[in-house]
Amino acid sequence: MFGHSHSRQAQAELRNPLTAYPQPKFKEQPQAAPGLAQEMNPKPDHGEESYRGSGRLLGRRAVITGADSGIGRAAAIAFAREGADIVLNYLPSEQKDADEVVALVREAGRKAIEAPGDISDEAFCRQLIGRAADALGGIDILVNVAGKQTAVEDIEELTTEQFDATFRTNVHAMFWLCKAAIPKMPPGSTIINTTSIQAYQPSPSLLDYASTKAAIVAFTHGLAKQVAGKGVRVNAVAPGPVWTPLQPSGGQPQEKIPDFGSMVPLKRPGQPVELAPIYVLLASQESSFVTGEVYGVTGGNHLP
């Protein structure tokens, strides 16, 4: 009599990870940076149709950067469906993508506060956190996803201006946002940074980007120890190749787009939705004994 109770629930579908999502070859599809998800072919899957929540973040208050597309958008959709209210940051030029995310968050019955602006500006970072705390009545999740990635094949062609801009967006902004948020975060709060497989296995054309991602790993380890006594946890996610607008808008040389992701053991790029559950886990109380950790989601190219 006990053997059949599972039949009342829909069976979890087994999906082969090699073929569960689109595989190369892809079309070349140049876009101007920062790029739009809606102009990609195939369109990235951020969980719009598939992500199902179960109340794991009910009543939580999150700030997510880069929330218009890619991993930030997947996190925003998942967080809303898990019950969190969200302040969504993105660049003003990404408004068309952001509108779709705002609609999805509100459809889930949660607050979506739009906060367009450039996090490479310190004053804006402080304003973003202040405004978020006011709008949500506090902050207990900070998710740093927004990043700048521009492929340059030769160090002689890599300008100081680009090097600085990549560090300001990827490293300085994380520092400014954490610095502003931590004094407002009650015990039990969590910070999730976004590093990359590039921190450990840098591509020759991504010198500046890979260096920022290595800095994020060290910052995450150090800050986690510093704020552990406050009851705040700090972790990072390290994606491998993921199908986001960052790639065709200059993050990869155009000729690499058709085979993007084919070099990993799973033979394809990840989709943003495949990162969302890790961000949910690290944001939720379920990971209460995890801090200073880096979670790889790489398609099989393991972290050291």
Active site residues: 209
The CA distance from 171 to 232, in Å, is: 20
What is residue 242's three-state secondary structure? Answer: strand
Helices 276-283, 70-81: axis angle to 10 degrees equals 50
The CA distance from 224 to 271, in Å, is: 28
The CA distance from 21 to 273, in Å, is: 10
Alpha helices for 137-172 (secondary structure H)? 160-167
Residue with tokens 């599809």: 29
What is residue 63's three-state secondary structure? Answer: strand
Q: Are 136 and 115 in contact (CB under 8 A)?
A: no
The CA distance from 66 to 143, in Å, is: 9
The CA distance from 110 to 170, in Å, is: 28
The CA distance from 269 to 79, in Å, is: 23
Q: Are 89 and 66 in contact (CB under 8 A)?
A: yes
Residues facing 41 on adjacent strands:
none
Residues facing 62 on adjacent strands:
86, 141
Give the number of C-alpha atoms closer than 13 A to the C-alpha of residue 201, restricted to the C-beta side: 14
Q: Are 251 and 149 in contact (CB under 8 A)?
A: yes
